[in-house]
Amino acid sequence: MAEFFTKVLDIAQRYWPLFWAGAKVTLLISLTGTVIGLVIGLLVGSVRAVKVEPRDSLGVRIGKHLVHALTSIYIEVFRGTPMIVQSVFLYYLLKPVFKWNPVTAGIFIVSVNTGAYMAEIIRAGIQSVDPGQTEAARSIGMTSMQTMLLVVLPQAVKNSFPAIGNEFVVNIKDTSVLSAISVTDLYFQSIGVAGSIFAYTQTMAITASIYLVLTFTTTRILGLIEKQMGRPKSSFPASQTVPGNPTF
């Protein structure tokens, strides 16, 4: 047992620059991918929340159905196939076009993959906002776009913040599949170290610890942000919530 830990410490000491470099790539890809994925999710999720209305003309109606069908295909395909398959497929498919390196391709794949999940998270968030507020916004003359941007989306994002944050945590772990296209992330570096010294168990103990530190810290930070968002912006004295008399 003591021998095991000595070996682990030895590997950590000798190879930490490689682990560190890998962790940075993992964080870069998962953070960028989550943020871009959120943007994609906001766009696709809002578009999917638009309903066909009886006042719509035939053209608008067809357009809405078409957009709905296309976004459905996007979501089903990316949620229904493994990211490791998506990454190999898209990396080689688009390599002649973009001439990209694995990290850029990795960010692209994680973004598009996360976008599919985010779209459903945002759509659910939009549905969680009381439709009465939409009616109220329309009743004071807001367009459906203004209603979405000013009233519905801010609350949808707030309501689904835990699920959005969870996507980031999932991405920290799941970017490890990008080693299939030689992205030099934490897992790729680790497996390199492990193979060169033939110490898989000890090396992966280090790798697992680093992943755990990353996800644990992220979860805590997200929890703090969530707590902060739950608070009302102004400190409003409770005594004033007693119903005041109208001053007529």
Partner 1 sequence: MENIIEIRGLKKHFGQLEVLNDIRFSVAPGEVICLIGASGSGKSTLLRCVNLLETPDAGEILVHGQNILQGRMDVNRYRTKVGMVFQSFNLFGNMDVLRNCMVGQTHVLKRSKEEARQKALFFLEKVGMRDFLGASPAQLSGGQKQRVAIARALCMDPEVLLFDEPTSALDPEMVGGVLEVMKGLAREGLTMIVVTHEMGFARDVSTRVVFMDKGVIAEEGTPQDIFQNPQNPRTREFLSRYIQA
Residues that bind partner 1 (CB under 8 A): 54-55, 129-130, 132-133, 135-143, 146, 150-151, 154-155, 158, 232-234, 236, 240-241, 243-248
DSSP, res 54 = T
What amino acid is encoded at 119 in this protein?
A
Residue 145 beta carbon to partner 1: minimum distance, rounded to whole angstroms = 11
For partner 1, the closer CB: 25 or 137: 137
**5 C-beta neighbours (distance < 10 Å), count:** 11
Q: How far is the CB of 157 from partner 1 (least distance, A)?
A: 10
The sign of the CA dihedral 157, 158, 159, 164 is positive
Residues 45, 43, 115, 80: what is their CA dihedral angle, to the nearest 10 degrees? 50
The answer to whether 150 and 138 are in contact (CB under 8 A) is: no
Pick 75 or 137: Cβ nearer partner 1: 137
Closest separation in Å from C-beta 237 to partner 1? 10
The separation between CA 10 and the C-alpha centre of its own chain, rounded to angstroms, equals 36
Residue 116's identity, in one-letter code, is A
Q: Which is nearer to partner 1, 198 or 236 (CB)?
A: 236
Q: Minimal distance in Å, beta carbon 127 to partner 1?
A: 15
Q: Least Å distance between CB 158 and partner 1?
A: 7
Q: Considering beta carbons, is residue 101 or 143 the nearer one to partner 1? A: 143
Q: Residue 30 or 159: which CB sits closer to partner 1?
A: 159
The b-or-e profile of 41-68 (16+ CB within 10 A means b, else e) is bbebbbbbbeeeeeeeeeeeeeebeeee
Q: Output 67 or 151, the one with its CB closest to partner 1.
A: 151
- Candidates 176, 212, 194; CA nearest to 87 is 176
Separation CA 158–CA 105 (nearest Å): 30
| Whole-angstrom distance, CA of residue 37 vs CA of residue 106 | 13
Look up tokens 């929340």; give the residue: 49
Question: What minimum distance in Å lies between the beta carbon of 67 and partner 1?
Answer: 22
DSSP state of 52: P
